[in-house]
Each structure stands twice: as C-alpha cells, then as structure tokens.
C-alpha cells in the first residue's frame, strides 16, 4: 500500500465543526477508479476528493466522489480542493485567480487575502418543472410551498429544488426520506428546499439539502445546491441580497452553522464561496 498525504477540512465554516467535512487525498496518483470509490465509501463523508497533477491550462486537478458515485462537480469539494491545493503547495499561494480541472471542465477560482475561496459553478439549466405525478409533493411532506415552482436543475449534478413559504417552514420541515429517495434515485443527487430568511436574520436565504438515495440523509452545507438555487432565483428575477451577492445559511438542523457566500457576476455566472479550516492532517494508506 502506498501512503498519501491526507487532510480533513471543514468547508463553509467560520469555526471548526460548523461546516461540511471534506476528506482530501493529496498526491492521489496510483489510485484507480475502484480504489477512489472504495475509499470514499469508507470515509462515509458526503464527499471525498483526490488531488492529481493538473493539465496544461489548470493549476490543479480534482476528482470528486460521494460514498456511491463520482460527481462531475460539487460545491464544497471544489471550494475545499482549491484551499487544499494551495496548502499542499500544488497551486501558487501568491495568486488570487486559479483554474480547477474537474470532470465538469475548467472552472475559475478566486482566492482573497484571507484565503476565502470562491468557485464559479458550471452554468445551471432547468430540466423539468412539474408536480404532475405528485412525487415532489410527496417529498415536501406537507411543508408549505413558496411562490417558485419546484424544478429539476442541472449544474453538473442534478438537483430537485423547492421553495418553501418561510424560514420556519424550512427549519421545521420533517423530510419523508422514502419519498425523497423515490424522487431522486434515478434523476438527481438530491432534493433541496429553501426560503427567504426572516428580516431579523444575519443571512439572506435558508437552505436544506437531502440526499438519501446517495447515502446522505441530510447534507450539512451544499455548494452545488446553493448554486442551482441562485440560478433559479436569478432566472425568476428574485435574487436576494444586494449587488448580486447574498449569504445562505445551511446546516443548523444537523448541528452545524454553515455560511455560503453566493454571487452572480456581470456575465450571469454563479459563484459560491466561503471559509475553509483544516481539522485533521496526516497520511492515508490505501
């Protein structure tokens, strides 16, 4: 067995334990697809990433696995990958603009002076907007719906998303995991709900994301879901916050307190970002 540098990061976290854990295998050359998938299943985190040598036009390359499948793109793994590539000396720490190579293509990355990371998500498109078969209604489990119609969106992974009436409806939702599994098993990685935050909240949007068909009942903080929600709100002319920028809260229902900074740039592209903390450093033999 070969040993590889290993990190476990907390992504979208201002303090340890409040974001979404991410397993990072550095210098992952020599691990084949089966080994990567097996290790991701073993960590049992929502995602595990493997850093690999970059191509000619990128600063680093990353592969992203859930316990059950490889994803072309995912938000918190991409934010964490940029941080880890800088930390490991793969990417130049003096640069504020990087390029990530992943299965979804080459994605721009911004790094600020405090090493907060933001990644431009792949452009999202709406695949389906229908409740005709009752599947989405079943997944909502009686929660009060908001004005925006539920829809299936694709930005690398596919997400069913649904707006709820209020922050309290999101916070208090009791998900029907069997119904969500039936909705997402063959069509999407998960089901996300959201609502405008209360006026007294220090953030603009509240989000929850459920991925039981992928072995993750509720994901703590989810970049790709936040990105498709932003795309849907922008498409409806309802982007919250100010000047194309807002903050989403996710994870309190599972004991976290993640904050995702979402930005729509002048070209209409969605960027997601936040802070990353290293919690575990060591090596992995696999």
Judge whether 3-122+273-285 and 125-268 match in fold: yes
Q: Give the containing element (helix H, strand E) for 248.
A: strand 245-250
Task: Please compute the mean of the pLDDT values over residues 37-61 and round it to a whole number.
Answer: 95
Q: Give the containing element (helix H, strand E) for 163.
A: strand 158-163
Domain at 125-268: CATH code? 3.10.310.10
Q: With pLDDT > 90 as the criterion, what percentage of the chain qualifies?
A: 93
Cα–Cα distance for residue pair 31/49, rounded to 1 Å: 12
Cβ of 187: how many Cβ atoms within 10 Å? Answer: 15
Cβ of 247: how many Cβ atoms within 10 Å? Answer: 17
Per-residue model confidence (pLDDT) at position 212: 96
Domain definitions of the chain by residue range: 3-122+273-285, 125-268
- For the question of whether the overall pTM of this predicted structure is more than 0.85, the answer is yes
Q: How far is CA 113 from the centre of its chain?
A: 23
Binning pLDDT at 50, 70 and 90, where does residue 135 land?
Answer: confident
CA-closest candidate to residue 74, choices 276, 275, 278, 272: 272
CATH number for domain 3-122+273-285, candidates 3.90.226.10, 3.10.310.10, 3.40.50.1970, 3.40.50.720: 3.10.310.10
* 28 and 36 Cβ atoms separated by less than 8 Å: yes
Encode pLDDT of 57-70 as tens digits.
Answer: 999 999 999 999 99
Q: How far is CA 139 from the centre of its chain?
A: 20
> Does the structure show a pLDDT above 60 at 201?
yes
158 SS3 class: strand
Scanning 157-267, the segments in alpha helix (DSSP H) are 167-172, 177-184, 223-235
């Amino acid at each position: 067995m070969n040993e590889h540098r290993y990190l476990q990061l907390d992504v979208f976290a201002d303090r340890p334990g409040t974001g979404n854990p991410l397993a990072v295998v550095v210098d992952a050359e020599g691990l084949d697809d089966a080994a990567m998938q097996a290790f991701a299943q073993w960590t049992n985190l929502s995602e595990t990433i493997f850093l690999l040598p970059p191509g000619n036009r990128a600063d680093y390359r990353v592969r992203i696995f859930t316990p059950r499948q490889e994803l072309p793109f995912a938000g918190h793994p991409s934010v964490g990958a940029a941080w880890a590539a800088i930390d490991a000396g793969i990417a130049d720490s003096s640069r504020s603009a990087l390029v990530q190579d992943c299965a979804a293509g080459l994605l721009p990355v911004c790094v600020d002076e405090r090493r907060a990371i933001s990644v431009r998500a792949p452009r999202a498109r709406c695949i389906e907007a229908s409740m005709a078969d009752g599947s989405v209604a079943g997944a909502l489990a009686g929660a009060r719906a908001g004005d925006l119609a539920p829809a299936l969106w694709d930005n690398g992974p596919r997400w069913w998303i649904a707006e709820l009436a209020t922050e309290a409806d999101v916070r208090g939702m009791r998900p029907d995991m069997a119904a969500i599994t039936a909705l997402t098993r063959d069509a999407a990685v998960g089901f996300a709900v959201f609502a405008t935050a209360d006026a007294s909240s220090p953030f603009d949007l509240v989000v929850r994301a459920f991925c039981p068909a992928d072995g993750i009942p509720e994901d703590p903080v989810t970049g790709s879901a936040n990105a498709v929600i932003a795309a849907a709100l922008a498409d409806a002319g309802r982007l919250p916050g100010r000047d194309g920028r807002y903050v989403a809260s996710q994870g309190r229902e599972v004991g976290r307190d993640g904050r995702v900074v979402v930005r729509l740039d002048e070209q209409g592209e969605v960027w997601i970002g936040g802070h990353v903390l290293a919690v575990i450093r060591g090596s992995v033999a696999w």
